[in-house]
Structures are given as structure tokens and as C-alpha cells.
Structure 1
Amino acid sequence: MKKIIMTGGGTAGHVNPNLALVPKLRQLSYEIKYIGSKNGIEKEIIGKTKIPYFGISSGKLRRYFDLKNFTDPFKVGAGFFQSLHILRKEKPDIVFSKGGFVSVPVVAAASFLRIPVLAHESDLTPGLANKLASRFVDRLLVTFPDTVSKIGEKAILVGSPIREDLYKGDGERAREAAGFTENKPVLLVMGGSIGSVKINTTLRKILPELLPIFNIIHLCGKNNLDESLKETLGYKQYEYVVEEMKDILQAADLIVSRAGSNSIFEFLALRKPNLLIPLSKGASRGDQIENAQSFYKSGYSMVLVEEELTDVSLRMSILKLYEDREKFISHMEESQLSGATDKILELIEKYSK
């Protein structure tokens, strides 16, 4: 039996794509183990699976000044030696990294021990962790065609791995759970795992204009429910969903969302017309803006920049998206950015030999 050690963490986006590979890795008889930080979100997510988990010391990699920049390199160094110990003991055939700051000492240790390493980059421009890790990996698998030229000869275009269960959702179950009684198209609005106050507030302002046309499912983020709207017919709000997400995505006819890479590739895979409102550069490194522009140029998405988000612009954009929905579906059906899971598994098989 071959053994693979996976790593990646810091956000759910650095963990969930790893989980998309797990069912087929098990079908191929791989023994799977995971290295993450001692207290990161990856520990919580992997803890819900039956995958053995090793926690290591991890410092955050920052592009800005912070006093912790002087102490965190020692944590990364400790993580490197802890990774060496784990990898020497476990003797994996290959290491697969999804990025995030915890992955850097792991891939460095694997490279030192001459264990093959594959890493995957979700965003159009690689994050700092994958930039640092790229010198240690055998191949850096990328999601966007434009990323290949940014990486060079180590890059392989594969797309983004999609969880198989997303294709098995039950849209009718989501509509029943939301209490929808009228047969109207479903608009899904989501602002990321922690929600977006601006998107939430703007959407709620225009509910009276949208509800005659759409049933609305609103993923508004933790502690962002509006109790005054709890009984509003045709409007269902959730803080955050996990198991129900596959049903909700199947139910959605249109989606308004941030532009995280994993999410937008799920929309593409499921052929869901979408309006992207990427995080502004003031709140991020600008990766969501690049992701959204790439999907806009490919004809997969409409884009509304956050600085132009108002009740009027959001309402008009949603109505325009619904009017042109067949055009977006047609472009998505022509996409070549599919089958990422199988492509990644083929590479894992190749390099683990």
C-alpha cells in the first residue's frame, strides 16, 4: 500500500481541496495522513475525518511589518525539524501540499529527505507560502492558465479539484428546508465563511424588489442573522452551512459570491451563473480581484467591484445576470478547466513511483 502525506492550512481553502482527493485516493489504496498546525482550522476540519493528524509548530508568513515577524521564523524552523521527524518515521511515497504557511516546513523537510512533493496553487497569482515552497516541490499544479507563465517550468495546469459530493446534491431538499412555497428561481447570496457586512446590508435593502422574482438563500456569516427578517416569505438566511451546501448549490439558479478560487471553480463545475464581488485590495492581497477578472474574461461570471456596490448596482446586476444566464451557462459548458481531480491523481501516481 502506498502512503501519502497531505498538508495545507490557515484557511478552509487550503484544506477542502485536499479532501476532494481523499475518496479516490482511498479507491487507489493509498494510506492517507495529514500534517497541519497544532491549533489551525485544518486540525478542526481533518478531525471530522478518519485521517490521522500530526500537529507541528507553525509561524505565519507576512508581507507587512509585525513584531511577530521576528519570532515566527523560529516557529517555522521548529516545524521543519518536527516535519523531518514525522516524515522519517512515516516514510510516505509522496507529499501533497495545498499551501498555507504550515506547508512550508513540511515541503522543505520532504525535499531534504528526497521525498517527491507536489503542491497545488488555487489563485491566479501564487500566495507567499507557495512562492517560498516552490523551490522545494517537484511540480506546482496550478488552477488558472495565466498562472503557468508566472511559475515557469515547474507549473502544470490542472484546474481545481471538486468534491464529488457536490454533484450529488438535492435541490428540492434545499428548497423544502428553506420553506419555499412558490416556484420561483433561487438566488444564492454568500459572502465567504465569515460573511460580508456590506453584501449582507446591501442585499437586505433590496429584498422587497427581489422577492417578487426570486426565492433567496442567504449565507450571511456567523452572528450576522437578522432576526427581524426571520419570517420573511421566500427568504432563508443561514450563518454557515457544511453538509447542506451540496443541496443549496444544486438548488441555486444564480449565485452572488466573493471570488475565492475554490468557490468559483465549484460554480464553474456545476454551471451556475454567478455575480462575483471580490474582496477589495484594502482587505486582501488582491487575489480575488484577479480570480474574478479571469472568470469575467472567460465569460463565466459577471463582476461587481466592492467600491461600486450599492443597492441599485446590486439589483441591476442580479437582474442582468438572470436575463443573460443562458449565455454564461453556454460559456461554462465550453470550459476546458474540468477534470482536475483525475489529473492530480494521475500526477500523484506518476511521482509516487
Structure 2
Amino acid sequence: MRVVVSGGGTGGHIYPALSLIKEIQKQQPESKILYIGTEKGLENDLVQREGIPFKTIHITGFRRKISLENVKTVVRFIKGVKQAKKMMKLFKPDVVIGTGGYVCGPVVYAAAKMRIPTVVHEQNSVPGLTNKFLSKYVQKVAICFEEASSFFPTEKVVFTGNPRASEVKEINAQAGKSSLGLQENKKTVLIVGGSRGAKPINDAFLSIVGEVGGKDYQVVYVTGNVHYDAVMEKVKEQGNPDNVIIKPFLHNMPDVLGAVDLIVARAGATTLAEVTAIGLPSILIPSPYVTNNHQERNARALSSKGAAILRLEKDMDGSQLLEDINKVFTEDGKWEMMKKEALQLGVPSAATNVYQLLKDISR
């Protein structure tokens, strides 16, 4: 099977694509993959690091208000379609999939106009402009949250889950514990605000780090590279408790997720795919700075089922965070119930599901 994959802009679009590619290569080692992204996007680094054939087009996203830049974007879109068509005439794909981000627009649109079978994969509960536009032209729309189905033509929607969930099926929890020096017989909380960190989560935790030092659980606190030095200075002022482990970034996140008992995090689609796949209880603090407030919608999909505690950023402070952590660990049956509900929402076979969808519609 020859597959063109396109997705870019953020890790939330790129990591599912990479997980899907691994599944395709596992199922069909003889398969051929071409990834089409942008030169300046994060995908340029992440995809080529995996040794996947990679080509670029130049495209920008639409602004949500009237702007001269939108006229330029239309011109770039037309040029991008022409570029993508040339690439596909040479590559001759059996199927094309877009995993989100504006780069998918000209790539998937070009494939649809060439009558190549096409799919878009929507990770969030509220889709972005590109996927809503492309849904008019593709054969199928793969979704991860049932809430997203109302935005797309009913006959095209297929619930597959997020391929990233399949990555955590192969976790090594013991390796995760060893890499951080965690104590075996203590409950562990992982607090993380994304690769660049989240200052409101940092501030909330710093206000209670002294109290956390007296608890019978341990905390792994990932600050983000940008905030690490400033956080360490403040933690040292409070005695640097022995049960608090602070890191700027984790490169082995799947293994660490398997080693902890509770996560405090934003509500990005990739994070939620991972935690539901392994049934990890969560306290979710969605970013209010994302398109269509989709992180809050993502989080509510879990909190409404009892798999997570949802706290809006405006309502979060140190005392609330400490209260929520204590509730999960001390309230009778709370942790067990959250784990059970998270597992029921998880789709660990998601990568296989998307692969099978591509196989079914490929020419």
C-alpha cells in the first residue's frame, strides 16, 4: 500500500500521524509512505528524525478576521494544490490521509480532485477549519470523540480513536520508575503542562510545594524547558522536598505514564488518548488559549463520565489542586472508579482501526 500522510503545526497533529505510519509499516512492511508537511513546521524535524520520506509545500492558515493575509493564503493554497498534485503524480498513492493542520488543506483537496481515496483524522471534540472544509471532499472522517460527529456528514464519520493511544500499549512502567528514581511503594502524581510548560499550573504547584513535602505520595513535576530554572529557584527556597522530583522535559513519557497513579495536565487530544488507553485518572486544566476552546470540550468528555476532574484555569490555585489530589487518593473508591471509567473511554487499538479504514477504502 502506498500512502501519503499530511499533518502539521502542532504535535497533536503530528504524533498521531507518526503512530499511524508505524502501524502501517508493522502491518505491511513493504508499504511506501510519503509525508507532506511544511518547511517551518514542527513536522519538518519530527518526521525526518524518524527517517520517513518527507516533502514540503508552502501554506499558511486563515485568520479568523478580515485580513490581507487571507488573500495571500488563498494564493498559497492554489499553489499548494498544484505542488501536491505533482508530488502525487510521481508517488501514485493508493490513499491519502490528513491528520490536521492547515498543510492538510491543499494536500487532501488535491488528492480528492485526483479521485484518490481520502480520509481526514480529527483528534479533538471540536474540529478545526481545515478538517471541516475537507470533510466535504473526502470519503471518510475518522474521529476520536463522539462529540465531533455532529460537525461532519453523518455517512462519512467513523469512530477510530487516536493512533497515539497505541503507543502506550508497549509501555515499560518499571523503566519509567527507574528513570526517575521513584519509590516503589508510594503513590505518584505526574504534573505536566506540555513541552513548554504552563505558567498557571507552575504557579499553583509552587504555592503548595512545602505542603506536598509532608504528604505520603510522591510528585513528578515537569516544568517545561522555558520555566525550569525559575521554578527550581523557588523550590529551593521552600526546602526542595525529597518526595518532589522536578524535570524540565520527559523524553520517555509513555513509560512514565505507566509508572504513575494520577496525572495533572492540559487536555490536548494526544494526552487524553494516552491516559484513557491505560486507564490513568486525571485532573485536567484545559488551556483557554486554543481554537474553539476545544481543550475544555475534550476534558468534559472525560469528566462527564467520571474519568477525570475538570478544573478551569481561572478556578485553579494551589489549594484547589492539593484538595483534588488528596480527594483522588483518599476518598473511598475514587481512584478505582476513575481508572475504570478512563479505561472504558480508551481505544488502544486506534492505530489498527485507522490502518484498516485506509486499507478498506484504498484503490
Which TM-score band (shorter chain)?
Answer: over 0.9
Deviation at 1:146, TM superposition (A): 2.1
Instruction: Tell me which residue corresponds to 1:275.
Output: 283
1:326 shift after superposition: 0.6
Residue in 1 that maps onto 2:161: 159
Structure 1 position 329 matched with structure 2 position 339: yes
Could you tell me how far apart the structure 2 residues matched to 1:16 and 1:117 are? Answer: 19
The equivalent of 2:232 in structure 1 is 227
Residue 67 of structure 1: how far off its partner (Å): 4.3
Give the whole-Å Cα distance in 1 for the aligned partners of 2:179 and 2:277: 24
1:286 is paired with a residue whose SS is helix
Cα distance between partner residues in 1 of 2:156 and 2:10: 25
Deviates more, 1:291-300 or 1:95-104: 291-300
Matches within 5 A, 1:130-149: 130-149=131-150
User: Which of 340, 345, 348 is matched with 2:355 structurally?
Assistant: 345
Q: Residue 292 in 1 paired to residue 299 in 2?
A: yes
SS at match of 1:87: helix
**What amino acid maps onto 1:227 in structure 2?**
M
What is the RMSD computed on CA atoms of the aligned residues? 1.8
**What secondary structure does 2:138 align onto?**
coil
Is the contact made by 2:142 and 2:158 (CA closer than 8 Å) also made in structure 1?
yes
Matches of 1:349 and 1:188, distance apart in 2: 38
Aligned residue type for 2:137: F
In 2, the alpha carbon distance for the partners of 1:240 and 1:79 equals: 35
For residue 17 of structure 1, what is the amino acid of its counterpart? P
Give CA-to-partner distance per residue, 1:100-119, whole Å, 9 cap, x none. Answer: 00000001110111111011
**Paired position in structure 2 for 1:11:** 10
**Residue 322 (structure 2) pairs with residue 304 (structure 1):** no
Q: Unaligned stretches of 5+ in structure 2? A: none
Deviations 1:155-202 (A, max 9, x none): 111121135442333333333332345732111011122210010111
Counterpart CA distance in 1 for 2:98 and 2:198 is 29
User: Could you tell me which residue of structure 2 aligns to residue 36 of structure 1?
Assistant: 37
Q: Conserved in 1, the CA contact under 8 Å of 2:165 and 2:348? A: no
Contact 1:206–1:311 (CA<8 Å) still a contact in 2? yes
Q: Which amino acid aligns with 1:169?
A: I
For residues 11 and 255 of structure 2, what CA distance do their matches in structure 1 show? 20
Shift of 1:143: 0.9
Q: Is the 8 A contact 1:116 1:351 kept in 2?
A: yes
Measure, in 1, the Cα distance between the counterparts of 2:8 and 2:58. 12
Map residues 201-280 of structure 1 onto 2, 5 A cutoff.
201-211=203-213, 212-225=215-228, 226-228=231-233, 229=235, 232-242=241-251, 244-280=252-288
- SS at the partner of 1:18? helix
Superposed displacement of residue 222, structure 1: 2.2
Normalised by the length of structure 1, the TM-score is 0.93
Instruction: Write out per-residue CA displacement over residues 92-132 of structure 1, whole angstroms, 9 at most, x where no aligned residue.
Output: 00001101000000011101111110110011111111011
Higher RCO (C-alpha under 8 Å, 6+ residues apart): 2
1:77-226 correspondence runs (5 A): 77-152=78-153, 153-162=155-164, 164-181=166-183, 183-211=185-213, 212-225=215-228, 226=231
Distance in structure 2 (CA, Å) of the matches to 1:150 and 1:72: 24
Aligned AA (2:159): L
Kindly state the Cα deviation for residue 275 of structure 1 after the two structures are TM-superposed: 0.5
Amino acid paired to 1:79: G
Q: Would you say the 8 A contact 1:275–1:321 is kept in 2?
A: no
Seq. identity, %: 28
Q: In 2 relative to 1, CA 39–262 (structure 1 residues): closer, same or farther, beyond 3 Å?
A: same
Asked if the contact 1:180–1:233 (Cα under 8 Å) also holds between the matched residues in 2, the reply is no
Whole-Å separation in 2 of the counterparts to 1:11 and 1:162: 14
